[in-house]
Amino acid sequence: MAEQRQGGTSIVWAARRIALTYLAVAGLWILLSDAALERLGFTGADSVLFQTLKGLFFVTVTALLLYLHVGAVLRRQSELNRTVAESRARFYSIFERSPVALIVVQDGRIEMLNAYAQMLLGPAARWHGRDIAEVFDDQDRAAAMKIILGDGNPSGTPAELVHAKNAQGEGIELELSASEQWPDIGGRLIALVDVTEQRNLERALVKTQRMEAMGVVAAGIAHDFNNLLTAMMGYVQLAAVHTNGNRAAKDLLDSAMQAGMQAGNLVRSLLTFGRAAPMQKKLMPLKEVIDGACMLIRGAMPSRIHFTYNFEAPSETLVHADAAQVRQALLNLAINARDAMPNGGELAVVVSLSPDARGVPMASVTVADTGTGISDASMQTLFEPFFTTKGDVGVGLGLPVSRGIIQDHGGDLTAASELGKGAVFTITIPIAAGPESKVEPKTASAGVLTVLVAHDKAASREILCTLLRKAGCEPIPVASGVECVDTHMRRRSNFAGAIIGIQHETQSGLYCLARIRAANDNTPVVLISDILAQEGGVSDVHTTVVTESTPEQQIVESMLTTISAHRAARQRKEQRPDY
Ligand code: ADP
């Protein structure tokens, strides 16, 4: 613009210069040429010839001067035009390609929008000539207009956060800055930065931090409570052993134990929430895990929803699983399905074996509903923490936590859905033993099983031995790592299994396990260790790792199941012909 003005001024000057030069040359010629002829003595016919030559000379000189001057001016002008066109093109390019929405406003009316602004707010044709105030939501309009019609944002002042609607009518958050009146562009330049995504992330981060803080507090309380609960349940189990056939007392103690187990699950949920709960994986039948989940699901479904459950995998299929957590994941899926079917529908859980990408058979659990389905946009963010379409009722943690649980089991959770056509969630978990493997009854039926019980807590040791005895086993209690290794060396071939819970010694449970395995002994072991459970167990297939808070009853069950699976595997091996 300034260049253009400068160009205009110099052209006027050039025209003046030409006119003055012409005036001077013509004036001097007229005044001097006749006097010069007279002085030189040209008269008569000569004078007519000279007059003609004089005129011709004058016309030639002025034509030459005009040619030089006007040519220079025109060249200059065309150069200027090119510079102006170039700088205009550069300005448009910068304006158009700016990664910020730019709007030129004249007297509060929209004059121009760059490409980004059009992408954000809609096409220029829709906005041209309209009041800029219409861009903003009602609650922010006054604040926005104060900046736009006032002095703009003096440099250094932060941009104003305002709310608006995008071209699709969705709410967006923008940072607004405005220039003061610029005569060059004939108005003001408004810059809008879309910070919707960034603000959502910030909010999600704050929410996560709040959740984490709550998690730490919850986990702290749950941890102490868990210790008390373990002791209480231990004594209930001991009391159950001393009921001397009193059925009523036994039933009451069983109920107390059930309630205690539920409290334990609740505590573990709190610990999971606080990320302090180690997985309690153990070898168990897949059917037992899913049956338990479906019982919970059935209870959570209202009558308007028709629930079906089909277990199509071989019933002997085993998995290394934390049953409570897998059930929690399945329940989350079922509750989402319920919420997606406010007017009723069908919910189907189907369990089968299906090969993964490498052809390895996996347990597959599908949870299919006939609900509202999930839009393509929601599918993109479905498993992200805090994604919810349930407003204040939803937290958006169900799916990410469920996927986390399944991934911790070496599997995956995937979703398939179309809006209006229901949704299918599929859980895949690796199976621990082939479908042909049999799980024997949990009591020791084939002869008396001798089980080494190495535990450094007297109360736990006592409870474990009592429960093993009740299950028909012969427990051999030892109280330290040294004793454990010694006893194993002496009576090795006699042990059907070992429960090892030595925490506070140099010769820890892991050390004892290493010594047993170093002696080339594959005796099934249940190792009690929070640290190892947290790390996902050990890589030894004959060892099941449980946490220190696992009830003794469960430890004994785990021991018996592991012994059964171990024996079944050995039998299969013995029956297989050697080639
Ligand atoms: P929340 O249940 O608290 O919203 P989730 O992580 O469990 O959190 O679910 C996230 C979102 O996924 C839900 O708000 C819902 O929009 C969608 N969703 C999950 N399962 C289904 C389903 N079966 N049908 C339709 N939408 C679903």
- Per DSSP bridges, beta strands 423-430 and 412-417 are antiparallel
Relative to the CA of 382, which ligand 1 atom is closest?
Answer: 12
How far, in Å, is the centroid of ligand 1 from the Cα of 335? Answer: 9
Helices marked H in 164-320 — which ranges?
A: 196-241, 247-273, 286-300
**pLDDT at residue 22, as a whole number:** 80
Contact 191, 101 (CB under 8 A): yes
Quote the CA–CA distance of 253 and 269 in Å, as a whole number: 24
pLDDT confidence bin for 470, thresholds 50/70/90: confident
Tokens matching residue 560: 């018996």
Quote the CA–CA distance of 274 and 406 in Å, as a whole number: 18
Domain 280-437 CATH superfamily: Histidine kinase-like ATPase, C-terminal domain (3.30.565.10)
How far, in Å, is the centroid of ligand 1 from the Cα of 375? Answer: 11
- Of the candidates 333, 332, 322, the one whose C-alpha atom is nearest the C-alpha of residue 264 is 322
Q: Could you tell me which residue, 26 or 501, shows the higher pLDDT? A: 501
Classify domain 449-575 by CATH number: 3.40.50.2300
Summarize the confidence of residues 532-558 as an average pLDDT: 79
Report the SS3 class of residue 167: coil
Tokens matching residue 277: 């709960």
Whole-prediction pTM value?
Answer: 0.41
> Domain 99-194 falls in which CATH fold?
Beta-Lactamase (3.30.450)
Quote the CA–CA distance of 160 and 344 in Å, as a whole number: 47
The amino acid at 65 = L
Relative to the CA of 398, which ligand 1 atom is closest?
Answer: 7
Contact 513, 543 (CB under 8 A): yes
**pLDDT at residue 206, as a whole number:** 73
Quote the CA–CA distance of 567 and 545 in Å, as a whole number: 19
Q: List the residue whose alpha carbon is closest to atom 22 of ligand 1.
A: 337
Quote the CA–CA distance of 102 and 189 in Å, as a whole number: 7
Give the strand order in the sheet containing 361-369: 305-311, 345-355, 361-369, 423-430, 412-417
Summarize the confidence of residues 79-103 as an average pLDDT: 88
Q: Is the CB of 413 under 6 A from ligand 1?
A: no
Report the SS3 class of residue 183: helix
Output the 3-class SS for 217-256: HHHHHHHHHHHHHHHHHHHHHHHHHCCCCCHHHHHHHHHH
Half-sphere exposure of 260 (CA within 13 A, CB side): 24
Quote the CA–CA distance of 216 and 258 in Å, as a whole number: 27
In this predicted structure, the answer to whether residue 498 has a pLDDT above a threshold of 60 is yes
Q: Is the CB of 337 under 6 A from ligand 1?
A: yes
Relative to the CA of 397, which ligand 1 atom is closest?
Answer: 6
DSSP state of 441: P
In this predicted structure, the answer to whether residue 445 has a pLDDT above a threshold of 50 is no
Please state the domain extents for the chain: 2-96, 99-194, 209-278, 280-437, 449-575
Relative to the CA of 383, which ligand 1 atom is closest?
Answer: 6
Quote the CA–CA distance of 360 and 411 in Å, as a whole number: 12
pLDDT confidence bin for 164, thresholds 50/70/90: very high
Contact 284, 319 (CB under 8 A): yes
Quote the CA–CA distance of 197 and 380 in Å, as a whole number: 14
Q: Is the CB of 456 under 6 A from ligand 1?
A: no
pLDDT confidence bin for 434, thresholds 50/70/90: very low
Contact 307, 335 (CB under 8 A): no
Mean pLDDT score of the chain = 82
Quote the CA–CA distance of 525 and 546 in Å, as a whole number: 11
Report the residue among 349, 399, 413, 424 best suited for mutation to probe ligand 1: largest number of ligand atoms under 8 A from its CB. Answer: 399
Query: Which tens digits make up the pLDDT trace of 360-390?
Result: 778 999 999 999 999 999 999 898 877 889 8
Query: Which tens digits make up the pLDDT trace of 244-298?
Result: 888 888 888 888 888 888 787 777 766 665 555 566 777 888 998 999 889 888 8
Quote the CA–CA distance of 358 and 167 in Å, as a whole number: 46
Report the residue among 388, 402, 414, 419 best suited for mutation to probe ligand 1: largest number of ligand atoms under 8 A from its CB. Answer: 388
Supply φ then ψ for residue 575, to 5 degrees.
-75, -25
Query: Which tens digits make up the pLDDT trace of 10-63?
Result: 677 777 877 888 888 888 887 887 777 777 776 666 677 777 887 888 888 888
Q: List the residue whose alpha carbon is closest to atom 19 of ligand 1.
A: 336
How far, in Å, is the centroid of ligand 1 from the Cα of 219? Answer: 26
Quote the CA–CA distance of 275 and 265 in Å, as a whole number: 14
Report the residue among 336, 347, 414 best suited for mutation to probe ligand 1: largest number of ligand atoms under 8 A from its CB. Answer: 336
Relative to the CA of 388, which ligand 1 atom is closest?
Answer: 14
How far, in Å, is the centroid of ligand 1 from the Cα of 303? Answer: 21
- Of the candidates 88, 101, 123, the one whose C-alpha atom is nearest the C-alpha of residue 189 is 101
Element (H, E) at 428: strand 423-430
Half-sphere exposure of 400 (CA within 13 A, CB side): 14
How far, in Å, is the centroid of ligand 1 from the Cα of 394? Answer: 8
